[in-house]
Amino acid sequence: MDLLEIFKDFDALERFPAGATIIEEGAEGNVMYVVVEGEVNVSLKGKILAISKQGEIVGEMALISSDLRSATVTAKTDCRLAPIDQASFESMLRHVPDFSMHVMNVLASRLQHAYEMIEH
Amino acid sequence: MKFHHIFRNWKDICEVDAGQVIFAEGDPADAMYFILSGEVELNLGGESFAVESSDGMIGETALLGSGSRSGTATARTDARLARLDREQLRQLMGSDTDFALHVMAGFANRLRAVDTFISTHLGHKPRDAG
């Protein structure tokens, strides 16, 4: 599934300059983002956990479990992101079958890499 | 007990005794398990990491289709588990959005727990978002 292809011409792309905070850990969250251009850092308590790039998603966990933001996302470079709100997210899950498996694969990959960080 | 109806006629049910190891760190990760009853403890490098019970899941990184177990899962009580491979999970998620969201929430909670573990125990080496 190529999210970049789906969202690159999105009307409501949001721009963030390098260094800007996009998502703040502990805050409430009701939107996720697809990174259309640039890179973002994902961190928790000041420690960088991951870098998300073009075509990747961030912020989906708060939509999945209606919880507070699990991590801070900051713009590593100038970037443009496509926002997806709760309703759009659930609509995509229901009507685009590959999308739910795509999100699962993203979470599974992150989980595996997180386990590898602990092992090494 | 919310999703047990999905597994009412499931062919791949495991009954395990208290103390039994369901999978061990390093084993091939070929399937995940949905817990129908009982409690299962997950250990990461010898440290107790999570306890899952009815409607919970273990072994979910098997979804990537390859790799080996990151931790050890041991039954804390007698337990009944439904075993699912990647294709079976894909079909279930495709037919039941509530179940899909439930599984995703389980992944998200696990990821939160692991990320917290990393941020409190380790240095700030970044992992690839994949």
Q: Would you state the pLDDT for residue A21?
A: 97
Cβ <8 Å between B44 and A118: yes
Q: Which of B67, B104, B118 sits opposite A104 (nearest CB)?
A: B104
Q: Would you state the pLDDT for residue A97?
A: 67
A65 at the B interface (CB within 8 A)? yes
User: With bands split at pLDDT 50, 70 and 90, how would you rate the model's confidence at A54?
Assistant: very high
B44 at the A interface (CB within 8 A)? yes
Task: Supply the range of the domain harboring residue A54.
Answer: 3-119
Over residues B15-29, the pLDDT tens digits come to 999 999 999 999 998
Q: Would you state the pLDDT for residue A38?
A: 97
Q: What is the average pLDDT value for chain B, to the nearest integer?
A: 87
Higher-scoring residue by pLDDT: B44, B118: B44
Question: Which residue does chain B place closest to A55, by CA atoms?
Answer: B130
B46 at the A interface (CB within 8 A)? no
Rounded to whole angstroms, the Cα distance separating B80 from B78 reads 7
Lay out the sheet containing B21-23: strands in order across: B21-23, B72-75, B40-44, B47-52
Cβ <8 Å between B129 and A71: no
Residues whose CB is less than 8 angstroms from the CB of residue A35 and which lie 6 or more positions away in sequence, other chains included: A52, A53, A54, A55, A56, A57, A58, A79, A81
CATH code of A21's domain: 2.60.120.10
**How many residues in total does chain B contain?**
130
Q: How many structural domains is chain A composed of?
A: 1
A114 CB neighbours in chain B (<8 A) are 111, 114-115, 118, 127
Over residues B75-118, the pLDDT tens digits come to 999 999 999 998 898 888 888 888 988 998 888 888 888 877 77
Cβ count near B75 (within 10 Å) = 22
Collapse the DSSP code of B129 into the 3-class scheme (helix H, G, I; strand E, B; otherwise coil) and give the result: coil
- Domain spanning B4-121: CATH superfamily: Jelly Rolls (2.60.120.10)
Tokens of A51: 């870098």
Q: Would you state the pLDDT for residue B125?
A: 47
User: With bands split at pLDDT 50, 70 and 90, how would you rate the model's confidence at A120?
Assistant: low
Higher-scoring residue by pLDDT: B126, B59: B59
Of the ranges A51-55, A96-100, B32-36, B109-113, which one carries the lowest mean pLDDT score?
Answer: A96-100
- Checking if the pLDDT of A93 tops 50, the result is yes
**Contact between A49 and A43 (Cβ < 8 Å):** yes
ipTM higher than the 0.85 cut? no
DSSP class of residue B28 equals B
- Checking if the pLDDT of A63 tops 90, the result is no
Q: Would you state the pLDDT for residue A113?
A: 81
Q: Would you state the pLDDT for residue A68?
A: 86
Q: Which pTM does this prediction carry?
A: 0.79
Q: Which A positions 70-89 lie with beta carbon below 8 A of chain B?
A: 70-71
- What DSSP line would sit under B63-89, residue for residue? GGSS-B-SSEEEESS-EEEEEE-HHHH
Of the ranges A17-21, A38-42, A62-66, which one carries the lowest mean pLDDT score?
Answer: A62-66
Q: Which of A97, A77, A99 is nearest to A32 (CA)?
A: A99
- Chains A and B form CB pairs within 8 A to the count of 136
